[in-house]
Amino acid sequence: MEDLIRQLLRQLGEDPGREGLLDTPRRVAESLGFLTQGYSIDPAETLTGALFESDADEMVVVRDVEFYSLCEHHLLPFYGRCHIGYVPDGKIVGLSKLARAVDAFSRRLQVQERLTAQIARAISDAVRPKGVGVVMEADHLCMMMRGVEKQSSRAVTSCMLDRFRTDARTRGEFLQLIRGGEPR
């Protein structure tokens, strides 16, 4: 990969042999490896490794899970917060595993729409709850630094499965909780 990055630097009009760029190919290769480490993580294994029997039947919500990803169209970062809710059906999952599942999917080349759905479906498949809701809010550098250059725009995506999709009260409770308020 380092040779490719040297070629890229040359194509940009730079001299990869100059002092400030000597270690750039190695640094970029290491950085890309870190930023795409999600390809080597199995989110299903992450989630099923921390399932516990439980009679809990009220909504579980983890909000404001920070994430970072790379837009697959421009290889520029997008970042934000993920909010997850589910209604248990005999099993609960370790809360940190929800955040790890977010990382596993976000540390890949992505579009936010697919990322949101992948997280929701993985939780649904692994935990088998009565329903799952995932809402993601993100700032996209591909919109901020280039193209339309809109600094204040934020993309919001959601994926609602089972009870979160079919029951307006469940969906409403989840949306209220991720806004930081108590359900009415």
Q: 37-178 maps to which CATH number?
A: 3.30.1130.10
Q: Which residues contact 169 (CB under 8 A, 6 or more apart)?
A: none
Residue with tokens 């409770």: 173
Q: Residue 134: its pLDDT value, please?
A: 98
| pTM to 2 decimal places | 0.94
**CA 50, CA 144: separation in Å to the nearest integer?**
38
Q: Which residues of the chain are modeled with pLDDT < 70? A: 181-184
Strand order in the sheet with 77-87: 109-110, 60-71, 77-87, 131-140, 155-162
Of 140, 73, 160, 148, the closest CA to residue 109 belongs to 73
Domain boundaries, the chain: 2-35, 37-178
* Predicted local distance difference test score (pLDDT) of residue 180: 82
